[in-house]
Structure 1
């Protein structure tokens, strides 16, 4: 048995030769043999191995076969760690009885599982490898180019494989991240959360669809110290970021109207990470530059959300408009012209994207290892609840300064305060689990309603542009709708400002 510790990065096929040249030039780099690997992944029809969090494959290379089973492992900030068992075999089908008996769950009927095994999907790729020393650590870097495929009823579905894997052969985990950062500074890459096996299960429709409520509260415990809290916030933020990225790339092909909301959630996740670093005095100039870079790539979100809301089947925005069909057609045309998929591709092709992800992974593992280079500049002995109270109060005071109860706010002012409201809500997302659910949710509800109100105001403004382009005069109707909504929002805001904060 060996414990595989690796960092996986995804890249675009056109970057292959640039990557090869870069890896060849790295100090202490030794290129190894290039091999062609064929892999069949096995499970039962009811996915019993997957239910046990196991992955089983048979790999063929140079006329030899090897069966491998990977047992339950962990993924933290993009670093995969998973025990695996490898055995040479002389047939195409795996034999479960060759693996150690102690790896199976209690009362598992291995004979029954063996009799039902079938090959669900295949991965075939060319692997080019390097052995690279980083100080006293040895890392094997594997560049895989190929495809994952599923054949059913004579029909084959496939997806490309373009992956770069850094596997720790000896030494410290930090060596993986150091090499990854060197690559990310030159080549556009992104953290790879999904393994080849998981991608195969999805392609075979044997895995549940991707889903995530990005603004769920983060699971923190009052007993955690501040270092443990930072590790939890960073690791959860990175995990959600990768999940949302995968959802955007998967959904974009099927549902144009859902993508703006997913992009909004991804940006919210990135902003939550930025907010967290600022709270812990870790937001360096270089990190700010990378965060700002990603923000600039996502500047389409407000327009996309407005157009998607106009098109929503449940939207009341244009339901009673006599020319609602023309308005909806123009909204759809505008959403298509926004070309969100190409904007996402442009963001992923910017080195700031992968560099920020890997910089956060580097910070996360430095924190976990207790490295002295991470200086929080805060009293680490502060009680978590006390720290959370302080962060909540500071956020609240900013909102009070922006939106004093005696002031009358306009539609334009509400929209200008959207970012500040987002940031305040993110503080609650980070620390909300430390408080009473009832008092917390009652306090947060009207503020979340205001965020939705701001989004609707933006949609009204988008409708104004669309109607003008079509020479449809709905200006009086829009003005009345906007004034009515602002009136309701003003009432909600003043009511919300009178509520007792749940952290006091």
Structure 2
């Protein structure tokens, strides 16, 4: 095995479903500028101490075997933007399957680290064994290695399939990775891959967890109000969260109530990105068409949220004596929504990956300032105008005449837009004033959610229609009162 020494690995990682392997192989074999490098079977053993000392230092250690040759590799702290991974790595040929830490450069370790003691504690935590098909592809002025890996991650008795595509820069510019990936994504379904093989292995060995997802109240923005820098952070945060939510959706398919909440969070990410790109005129045909398609695929979420809320047996339904029966029916309806099927449907449509890669390209262009928002004001002024537009929209809703339930359910959409604007730009304003403002509107939104859930409950249990109508009437009065009070407060951005 060739000794590559140390370098910074720059690669774009994408996930692919197993049924699309052969179409990918055929496409890459026929792609102009592509040269097949054959297929190899790779064995990989990942090592750490019982206390996960390497993981705590953000390092990953493996020994890779191929055709009787072995190479030890250690990867140190790096970055992931979208699906683009950049991480220093050190590769050294060895004679066996056990890594020797002393062979790595001394400067990669903390000065106080006892390498000998670390060596004694090493043991194999998990393995990734896979078949790798490789191509070298000329894209622009760059040479890129495309690797299709298909195999298994194993930790003890636990196993997880592995199927992914990596676009690694051999020479040239990292800017050429995305155009090549986009060519492939136009032909067959791919999606961004955030979790590395090592991260998935640690989790399978129950030595790691998917990153917890706290509620995203606001995105910390850089000081100075530079529009380009702030938009870069917003887009990067939303893309990263989207990927994490995909991971959580896959891990929690057995919890249908949690699925509803996770799908809502994923839709929030999608709508946040769409809103920001719209307000700053950053859309192109790929994002415009992609968001329109994706929104149509997420139309089941409102139904799921109402059913999930009914599963909690809201207090008004308890008091009406129908709560438990409705909760039972709601749980059964949730089970029939086939969340796994919805996730697979997205992953099997090439438009999903095309949209994700278009957003990563946009992010890359923002970072390099090759794409500039069409605004001349600083961000506080721009965001203030956007939030003021949201405020005026609320005023219009409250003065409109129409059927109360439908009107309030439509108001929920306006409140969501205000929430997303707060997530994007709320960091620019005092937290206390911002929290006070949104707390009142959250109370309104909670009542609207209950209103929609009651309407859904009449479909589940028609015999309870009279009692549910009484509840909805009371909720309408409560929502109107809460809205009037909320509209009296001074907006936090003024």
TM interval, short-chain normalised = over 0.9
Match of 1:344 in 2: 343
RMSD over equivalenced CA pairs, Å: 1.6
- In the alignment, structure 2 segments of 5+ residues that lack a partner are 1-5
Aligned counterpart, 1:167: 168
Question: In structure 1, what is the equivalent of residue 3 of structure 2?
Answer: none
TM-aligned CA distance change 1:325 to 1:230, over 3 Å: closer
Q: Does residue 1:128 correspond to 2:129, yes or no?
A: no
Aligned to 1:466: 460
Cα distance in 2 between the residues matched to 1:503 and 1:416: 24
Mapped partners of 1:211, 1:203: distance in 2? 16
Do the aligned residues in 1 keep the contact of 2:322 with 2:464 (CA within 8 Å)?
no
TM-score (norm 1): 0.94
Residues 222 and 384 in structure 1, CA contact (< 8 A), matched pair in contact too: no
Secondary structure of the corresponding residue to residue 105 of structure 1: coil
CA 1:222–1:400: 2 relative to 1, 3 Å: farther
Q: Does 1:401 align with 2:389?
A: no
- The Cα of 1:399 is off from its aligned counterpart by 2.3
- Is this contact kept in 2: 1:37–1:127, CA < 8 A? yes
Inter-partner Cα distance in structure 2 for 1:286 and 1:99 = 45
Equivalent of residue 35 in structure 1, options 40, 62, 69: 40
Distance 1:106 1:247 in 2: 37
Matching of residue 269 in structure 1 with residue 269 in structure 2: yes
* Counterpart in the other structure of 2:260: 260
Counterpart in 2 of 1:489? 479
On the 8 A contact 1:77/1:239 being kept in 2, the answer is yes
- 2:217 corresponds in structure 1 to 216
Report if aligned partners of 1:5, 1:168 keep a CA contact under 8 Å in 2.
yes
1:290 is matched with 290
Q: Secondary structure at the match of 1:482?
A: helix
1:337-416 alignment to 2 at 5 Å? 337-371=336-370, 374-379=371-376, 382-404=377-399, 410-416=404-410
Tell me the TM-score normalised to structure 2 length.
Answer: 0.96
Q: Check 1:51–1:407 CA distance in 2 against 1; reply closer, same or farther (3 A cut).
A: same
1:175-214 mapped onto 2 (5 Å cutoff): 175-214=176-215
Mapped pair 1:319 → 2:309: no
Deviations 1:148-175 (A, max 9, x none): 0111xxxx11111110000011111121
Measure, in 1, the Cα distance between the counterparts of 2:368 and 2:464.
Answer: 61
Partner Cα distance (1:46, 1:453) in 2: 48
User: Helix, strand or coil for the counterpart of 1:197?
Assistant: helix
Q: Deviations over 1:319-353 (max 9, x none)?
A: 34555444333222211222121122112211111
Kindly state the Cα deviation for residue 280 of structure 1 after the two structures are TM-superposed.
1.1
For the residue of structure 2 that corresponds to 1:378, the secondary structure is coil
- Which sections of structure 1, spanning at least 5 residues, go unmatched? none
SS in 2 for 1:341: helix
3-state DSSP class of the match of 1:7?
strand
Deviation at 1:29, TM superposition (A): 0.2
Distance in 2 between the 1:322 and 1:444 partners? 32
User: Is 1:71 matched up with 2:68?
Assistant: no
Superposed CA deviations along residues 86-105 of structure 1, whole A, max 9, x for unmatched, are 00011211111111111112
2:97 aligned with 1:92: yes
Give the match's secondary structure for 2:355. helix
CA offsets per residue over residues 405-433 of structure 1, 9 Å max, x none?
Answer: x8687121111232222112101110111
Judge conservation of contact 2:130–2:150 (CA < 8 Å) in 1.
yes
Per-residue deviation, 1:210: 3.6
Which consecutive segments of 4 or more residues in structure 1 shift more than 6 A? 406-409
Partner Cα separation in structure 1 for residue 314 and residue 306 of structure 2 = 11
Question: CA–CA distance in 2 between the matches of 1:456 and 1:207?
Answer: 37
Distance in 2 separating the partners of 1:133 and 1:326: 63
Q: 1:299 maps to which residue?
A: 299
Question: How many angstroms does 1:198 deviate by?
Answer: 0.2
Q: Is the 8 A contact 1:297 1:344 kept in 2?
A: no
Instruction: Give, in angstroms, the shift of residue 376 of structure 1.
Output: 2.5
Query: Residue 26 of structure 2 aligns with which residue?
Result: 21
Instruction: Please say which of residues 261-270 and 489-498 is displaced more in the overlay.
Output: 489-498
Post-superposition shift, 1:286?
3.4
CA offsets 1:122-167 (integer angstroms, 9 cap, x no match): 000000010001111111000000010111xxxx111111100000
1:417 aligns with 2:411: yes
Q: Distance in 2 between matches of 1:350 and 1:19?
A: 14
| Aligned equivalents of 1:222, 1:195: Cα separation in 2 | 32
Instruction: Say yes or no: does 1:110 pair with 2:115.
Output: yes
TM superposition shift of 1:456:
1.3
Q: Please state whether the residue corresponding to 2:484 is helix, strand or coil.
A: helix
The corresponding residue for 1:238 is 239
Taking the aligned partners of 1:160 and 1:340, their CA distance within structure 2 comes to 20
Residues 221, 434 of structure 1: 8 Å contact kept: no
Q: Distance in 2 between matches of 1:309 and 1:228?
A: 38
8 Å CA contact 1:40–1:119 kept in 2: the answer is yes
How far has the Cα of 1:276 moved from its partner? 0.8
The CA distance in 1 between the partners of 2:217 and 2:106, in whole Å, is: 40
Does 254-263 or 2-11 show the bigger shift?
A: 254-263
* Contact 1:310 1:317 survives alignment (8 Å): no
Counterparts of 2:225 and 2:244 in 1: how far apart (Å)? 26
Paired position in structure 2 for 1:435: 429
Aligned match of 2:450: 456
Deviation at 1:370, TM superposition (A): 2.3
* Residue in structure 2 matched with residue 477 of structure 1 by the alignment: 467
